[in-house]
Amino acid sequence: MDTAVLHSVNAMPAPTWHRLAMNHATIDVPDDLALEHRADVRCDPALFGEAGAFDAALRGLQVHTFGTPEAACSLDDAKALVERETSPAGQDGFNPLDATALSAFQTRAAAVEVTRSVAGAFETGMGPEALDFLREASGAAVVLATAPGDAPAQASVRTFALEGALNACAIDVAVADGTELDLALTHESGKVSRGMIGSSLRAYVGRGATLRLSVTQAAGEGTTVLDDSGIVLDEGARLVVRHSVLGGDEAYGGLACDLRGTGSQASVTTRYIGQNSQKRDFNFVMRHRGEHTASSLNVAGVLAGSSEKTLRGTIDFVRGCKGAEGSEVENVLMTSDDAVNRSVPVILCGEDDVAGNHGATIGSMNPEQLFYLESRGLSSQAAEAMALRATVENAYFDAPDSFARAAVVAFGRVHFPDFEESVA
Amino acid sequence: MAQQRTHVDDVDRSLYDVANAEDPTARFEAGLTPEIVTEISRRKNEPEWMLDFRLKSLDLFSRMPAPDWGPSLAGLDLDDIVAYVKPATDQQSDWNSLPDDVKNTFDRLGIPEAERAYLAGVGAQYDSELVYHSMQDAAAKMGIVYSGIEEALGDPQWEPIIREKFMTLIPPHDHKFAALHGAVWSGGSFVYVPAETRLDYPLQSYFRLNAKGAGQFEHTLIIVEDGADLHFIEGCSAPKYNVANLHAGAVELFVGKGAHLRYSTIENWSKNMYNLNTKRALVDADGDVEWISGSFGSHVGYLYPMSILKGDRAACSFTGITFAGAGQNLDTGCKVVLAAPDTSAAVETKSISKDGGVSTFRSSVVATERAERAKASVSCQSLMLDDKSRSDTIPAMDIRCNTVSIGHEATIGRIADDTVFYLMSRGISEEEAKAMIVNGFAEPVSKELPLEYAVEMNNLIKLEMEGAIG
C-alpha cells in the first residue's frame, strides 16, 4: 500500500472559502497497516451475482436513458467545449464578457451532463480518491443482484476492525426492476490500538425497485471508519438509507445518489454521536437528474466532549430535472463547550421548475425541553447525557439484523453499564 | 402544453452607459509594477510608511493565488488593467466647478439633486480620484468629519488614526485582491462620527468609473464612536466597454460601543466589470451594523460584507438582493463572526437569476468559543425565472460554542403556480400577479432603503412583466 494520505475525501461539489477548512477532509493512512478483506456476508446464496453486474446495469441504464451505449464525448472534451463557449479564447468576434464566467465547479458540472454518460457521471460520496483506495484495498467485490420477479431479499454484511490492519470490503449491488433488497451493513470493533474499517458500496436500483440500506457503525476506540457509497436510481426507483454512526475515533461517511430515473426517490436519515475527541465527517450528495425526482436528507446528532463534526450536504438540481423536490434538515445538539460543529448545507440549481429547501438548527438543548426535564429532576448534564444515550438506543431499535443489534449492544455496554437491560 | 413562464426584462442600464471622452495622458500604463505603485504614492505625496505598505502589498499580490472556488477570472488580465487614471480636475466642493462632462455625468445620476434633497454630505469619485466632496455645515458643527481619505491622511490630526486602522480589518494578506488594493488604492472617503453624535441624514459616496480598461480601488474608512449613529450610502456605476474593468475597493467600518451604523449599497457596475470588493465591520459592545445591499451590475462579482462582532451584545444584520442576468455570474453573500457573548446576527437575502445569469449566495457564520448565548439566523431565497440560469446556495457554519442558537433556512424555486392562481382568483390578471410576486420578492430590501433609493432600485430592476409566454 503506497498511499499514505488521502488528500481529498468527502469533497463537496461546490467548494467555498478554503480558510474555513470545510471543503474536504484529509485522511492519514499508516503505511504499515496490513490489508485484510474479511467480512461476514449473510444472504440467500441465490442473491450472489456475477462480477460486473453493477457495471452491466449502468450500461443498460445508459442505453435506456440516452439510446446509445456510448458516451457523447469524454469529460475532458466536454470541459473544453463548455470552456470554449465561455472563455476568452472563444470564437472570433465573440466577446467573452458577454458569456457567463462559470466557476470551475460550474464548468465541470455542465461538462458532466454534456458527456451523456451514466457511468462517467457515477460518483461516490467520499470521492474518486477514496473509491480507488477502498476498491484496491478490498480485493474482489461482494456482488449482490436480484433478478426480475424475485421476492424481497435481505443481505447482511459485517466488517470489523483488526489490530494493525485495514479491513475493507467492496460491495456491488444491482437491484433488478421491480424487486426489493434490504441491505444491512455493520461496522464494528472491540478496542484496538490502531485499525481501519472500510466499505465501498456501488449500487444500481432498477425501474420501480427499492433498496433499503441500513448502516450501523458501532466501532470502538482506536478505529477509523471509511464508509463510502454511490447509488444510481432508475425510473421510479426508491432508496431508503438509515445511518447510525456511534463509534470510532474517526468516522468518514460519504453517499452520493444519482436520481437519474424519472420519479425516483431517495431518503437519507443519519443519526450520530461524537464523544471525547472523536471526529465525524459526512458528505452527502443528492444529484437530481430525472424529472419529478425527490430527495430528503435528515441528519441529527449529539456532540459531546471535544468531538468535531462536519456535514456537507448537497442537493443538486441538474438542468432538466423538472418537477424535482429536495429537502435537507439538520439538527445538532452540542453538549460541550469544546465540541465543534461545521455544517455546509448546499443547494445547487440549474433548473427553475424545482423546489428545494434546507434548514438547520444548531446549539444546546431547547430551553423549553430542558425546563421540562429539569422539572422532573434531571440536571442539564443528565438531560444531555440522555440525548446521547437515546441515539444509541434508537440505533438498537432501528437495527435491521442480528449483526447490527449485537454490535450496538456491545457498543452500549462499553458506554452505559446498564445498556443491555434497558433495551432488553 | 408548453410551460408558461414569466418574462422579466433585463435591468435598464442606458442611464449609466454614457461614457465621456478620456484624456490619454491621464492614464498610467497598464499593468502592475513597483514603479507604477511608487508613482501613485509620489503623486499623492504620501508618508513613507504608506509607500512601504503599498510595495509590500504588491509583493504579496504577486505571490498569492487567485481564488479557485468562485466565478472564473480568466477574462481578467491584470496586465491589461490601468491602475490609475487621473480625472481632469482637482477635488471641488461646488458642482459647478467641475468640468462639464463630469458634472453632467453626476447630474444624470441624480447625485446633486439627492444632495439637495436629503443628504448631509456627498463624496463623488471619478476614476481614481475624488472630484467632489461636500458636507453640510450643521454636520461639521457636530464634529463630524467627512472628507477624502487622502486629504485626511495629510492632516496631522487624522494621519495617526488612519495609520492605526488602515487595512487592519482587511489586511493585504487576506486575499489576492486585498493585496492588490493595498498596492494601488486611490481615492475614497474618511468618516469620523464623534461619540454620542447622531446624524439624521445620510452621507453618500458615489463611485463612477469612466475610463476604459481601468481599475478603481477606492478605500472607505468609517469610524463611528461610542453611542453615535450614522447612515452611509454607497453607489457605483460605469459605462459598458468591450474590455474588462476592475473594481477592487475596500470598506473598513469601526463601530463603537452602543453605536449604530447602517451601510447601504446599490451596486450597478456595467456588465464588463469584475467587482472584487471587500467590506468589513468591527463592532464593539452593544454596537450594531446594518448592511443593506443591492447587487445588479458587474460581469463577475465577489462580494461578502463581513461583520466581526467582538463586543458583548454586538449585533449585525445583512439584507441583500442580487439580480443576475445574461452574462453575469454574481457570487454574493456575507460573513459573520460571533466572537463575544450575547452577540446576534440576522441575515436575509434574495436572489433572482434569469437569461443564463448565475447567482450564488455564499456565507459563513462562525461562532467562536467566546460566543456564549449568541444567536444567528440566516435566510436565503432564490428565484429562478428560466431554465437557462443558475442559482446556488453555499452557506457554511462553524460553531464552537454550545450555548449558541443558530438557525438557517433556504429555499429555491420559481414563481409558484398556486400563488399566481390565488391572486388570479381575486381578479388580478396573470401578468399583474406575477409582477406583484417578483416585486414583493425584492421588497424586504427596498423597504430598508431611503425612499429615493428604493425608487431607484425599483427602476433599476424595472421588472416589466410581459405576461405569460408559452
Residue A93 has what pLDDT?
Answer: 63
A363 vs B402: CB contact, 8 Å cut-off? yes
On the CB side of A201, CA atoms within 13 Å amount to: 30
Residue B465 has what pLDDT?
Answer: 33
For residue A364, the chain B residues in CB contact (below 8 A) are 402-405
Q: Does A99 touch chain B (CB under 8 A)?
A: yes
Q: Does A297 touch chain B (CB under 8 A)?
A: no
A342 vs B362: CB contact, 8 Å cut-off? no
Q: What are phi and psi of A174, to 5 degrees?
A: -130, 110
Total count of domains within chain B = 1
Q: What are phi and psi of B52, to 5 degrees?
A: -60, -45
Residue B371 has pLDDT above 70, yes or no: yes
Q: State the best of A17, A22, A87, A100 to mutate against chain B, taking most chain B CBs within 10 Å.
A: A100
User: How would residue B39 be classed by pLDDT, with cut points 50, 70 and 90?
Assistant: very high
B364 vs A95: CB contact, 8 Å cut-off? no
Contact A319, A289 (CB under 8 A): no
Q: Give the Cα separation of A141 and A134 in Å (integer).
A: 10
Closest in B272, B356, B402 to A334, CB measured: B402
Question: What average pLDDT does chain B have?
Answer: 89
A87 vs B385: CB contact, 8 Å cut-off? no
Closest in B69, B73, B329 to A100, CB measured: B329
Q: Give the Cα separation of B354 and A80 in Å (integer).
A: 25
**Nearest alpha carbon to residue B299 among B281, B318, B276:** B276
Q: Does A51 touch chain B (CB under 8 A)?
A: no
pTM over 0.95: no
Average pLDDT over residues B25-45: 91
Q: What is the pLDDT of residues B197-229, one digit of tens each?
A: 999 999 999 999 988 999 999 999 999 999 999
Residue A61 has what pLDDT?
Answer: 97
Nearest-Cα residue of chain B relative to residue A359 = B409
**Distance of residue B409 Cα from the nearest chain A Cα, in angstroms:** 4
Q: State the best of B3, B73, B394, B404 to mutate against chain A, taking most chain A CBs within 10 Å.
A: B394
- Describe the crossing of helices B430-446 and B451-461 by its angle, rounded to 10 degrees: 140
What is the residue whose three cell numbers read 436572489? B351
- For residue B405, the cross-strand partners are A363, B375
Q: Give the Cα separation of B248 and B276 in Å (integer).
A: 5
B413 vs A355: CB contact, 8 Å cut-off? yes
Average pLDDT over residues B239-249: 91
Cα pseudo-dihedral A411, A412, A417, A419, rounded to 10 = -150
Residue A127 has what pLDDT?
Answer: 98
On the CB side of B167, CA atoms within 13 Å amount to: 24
User: How would residue B470 be classed by pLDDT, with cut points 50, 70 and 90?
Assistant: very low
Average pLDDT over residues B43-66: 96
Q: What is the pLDDT of residues B73-86, one digit of tens each?
A: 999 999 999 999 98
A363 vs B393: CB contact, 8 Å cut-off? no
Q: Does A84 touch chain B (CB under 8 A)?
A: no
Contact A138, A128 (CB under 8 A): no
Q: Could you state, in order of their start, the residue ranges of all structural domains in chain A?
A: 34-51+122-423, 72-114
For residue A99, the chain B residues in CB contact (below 8 A) are 327
**Distance of residue B385 Cα from the nearest chain A Cα, in angstroms:** 6
Residue B6 has what pLDDT?
Answer: 44
Nearest-Cα residue of chain B relative to residue A342 = B398
What is the residue whose three cell numbers read 443564463? B356
For residue A106, the chain B residues in CB contact (below 8 A) are 329, 358, 390, 392
Q: Is residue B197 part of a domain?
A: yes
A352 vs B384: CB contact, 8 Å cut-off? yes
A353 vs B393: CB contact, 8 Å cut-off? no
A102 vs B382: CB contact, 8 Å cut-off? no
Residue A91 has what pLDDT?
Answer: 56
Residue B219 CA, distance from chain mean position: 12
Q: How far is CA A408 from CA A144, A163, A225, in A?
A: 25, 20, 16
Grid cell for residue A23: 471543503
B384 vs A101: CB contact, 8 Å cut-off? no
Give the three-state DSSP class for A352: coil
In A, residues 232-291, which contact B (CB 8 Å cutoff)?
none
Average pLDDT over residues B440-468: 61
Any idea what DSSP says for residue A248? -
Cβ neighbourhood burial of B303 (10 Å; 0-12, 13-18, 19+):
buried
Residue A164 has what pLDDT?
Answer: 93
The enclosing H or E element of A208 equals none
How many interface pairs between A and B have CB atoms less than 8 angstroms apart? 200
Q: Is residue B368 part of a domain?
A: no
Q: How far is CA A135 from CA A130, A215, A230, in A?
A: 8, 19, 13
Q: CA angle A358-B354-B244, nearest 5°?
A: 110
Cβ neighbourhood burial of B76 (10 Å; 0-12, 13-18, 19+):
buried
Residue A97 has what pLDDT?
Answer: 84
Q: Is residue B388 part of a domain?
A: no
What is the residue whose three cell numbers read 479491513? A167
Residue B16 has what pLDDT?
Answer: 73
Residue B1 has pLDDT above 60, yes or no: no
**Distance of residue B186 Cα from the nearest chain A Cα, in angstroms:** 26
A16 vs B362: CB contact, 8 Å cut-off? yes
Average pLDDT over residues B3-28: 63
Grid cell for residue B227: 453611542
Averages of pLDDT over each 10 residues, chain A, 424 residues: 80 97 95 91 97 97 95 94 70 74 94 96 98 95 97 97 94 98 94 91 98 97 96 98 97 98 98 97 98 98 96 97 96 93 96 90 82 84 86 95 95 90 82
Q: Map A101-147 to HEC letters.
A: CCCHHHHHHHHHHHCCCHHHHCCCCCCHHHHHHHHHHHCCCEEEECC
Q: Give the Cα separation of B336 and B396 in Å (integer).
A: 10
Q: State the best of A22, A87, A97 to mutate against chain B, taking most chain B CBs within 10 Å.
A: A97
Q: State the best of B68, B81, B332, B392 to mutate against chain A, taking most chain A CBs within 10 Å.
A: B392
Pairing of strands B468-469, B5-6: antiparallel
**Distance of residue B327 Cα from the nearest chain A Cα, in angstroms:** 4
Q: Does A22 touch chain B (CB under 8 A)?
A: yes
Residue B7 has what pLDDT?
Answer: 47
Residue B17 has pLDDT above 80, yes or no: no
Q: Is residue B87 part of a domain?
A: yes
Nearest-Cα residue of chain A relative to residue B300 = A101
End-to-end CA distance of chain A: 44
Q: Give the Cα separation of B329 and B412 in Å (integer).
A: 17
Closest in A100, A337, A344 to B394, CB measured: A344
What is the residue whose three cell numbers read 430535472? A321
A97 vs B412: CB contact, 8 Å cut-off? no
Residue B374 has what pLDDT?
Answer: 96
Q: Does A103 touch chain B (CB under 8 A)?
A: yes
Grid cell for residue A415: 458506554
B390 vs A350: CB contact, 8 Å cut-off? yes
Closest in B73, B272, B408 to A359, CB measured: B408
- For residue B122, the cross-strand partners are B134, B204
For residue A360, the chain B residues in CB contact (below 8 A) are 397, 406-409
Residue B467 has pLDDT above 60, yes or no: no
Amino acid making up residue B351: S
Q: Map B246-290 to HEC letters.
A: EECCEEEEEECCCCEEEEEEEEECCCCEEEECEEEEEECCCCEEE
A87 vs B329: CB contact, 8 Å cut-off? no
Kindly give the residue spans of alpha helices, DSSP state H, lying in A157-278. Answer: none
Q: What is the pLDDT of residues B392-442, one digit of tens each?
A: 999 999 999 999 999 888 888 888 788 888 999 999 987 777 777 777 887
B399 vs A340: CB contact, 8 Å cut-off? yes
**Distance of residue B322 Cα from the nearest chain A Cα, in angstroms:** 15
**Nearest alpha carbon to residue B263 among B320, B348, B342:** B320
Residue A278 has what pLDDT?
Answer: 97
Domain that holds residue B132: 14-303
Contact B183, B32 (CB under 8 A): yes
Contact B326, B297 (CB under 8 A): no
Round the CA-based radius of gyration of chain A to a whole number and report it.
22
Q: Give the Cα separation of B151 and A279 in Å (integer).
A: 53
Neighbours of B417 (CB within 10 A): 11
Q: Is residue B239 part of a domain?
A: yes
Residue B313 or A384, more confident:
B313
Contact A328, A358 (CB under 8 A): yes
Amino acid making up residue B453: Y
Q: Give the Cα separation of A141 and B218 in Å (integer).
A: 61
Residue B457 has pLDDT above 90, yes or no: no
End-to-end CA distance of chain B: 9
Closest in B70, B369, B398 to A20, CB measured: B398
Closest in A98, A346, A364 to B394, CB measured: A346
B390 vs A349: CB contact, 8 Å cut-off? yes
**Distance of residue B114 Cα from the nearest chain A Cα, in angstroms:** 33
Residue B287 has pLDDT above 90, yes or no: yes
Q: How far is CA B455 from CA A259, A299, B462, in A?
A: 44, 43, 10
For residue A87, the chain B residues in CB contact (below 8 A) are 72, 74-75
In A, residues 349-388, which contact B (CB 8 Å cutoff)?
349-364
Cβ neighbourhood burial of B383 (10 Å; 0-12, 13-18, 19+):
buried
Closest in A16, A88, A356 to B74, CB measured: A88
B408 vs A358: CB contact, 8 Å cut-off? yes
A97 vs B69: CB contact, 8 Å cut-off? no
Residue B169 has what pLDDT?
Answer: 98
**Nearest alpha carbon to residue A270 among A229, A239, A230, A299:** A299
The set of residues, in sequence order, having a beta carbon less than 8 Å from that of B436 and lying 6+ positions away, is B423, B428
Closest in B71, B403, B413 to A101, CB measured: B71
Q: Give the Cα separation of B314 and B403 in Å (integer).
A: 17
Contact B211, B242 (CB under 8 A): no
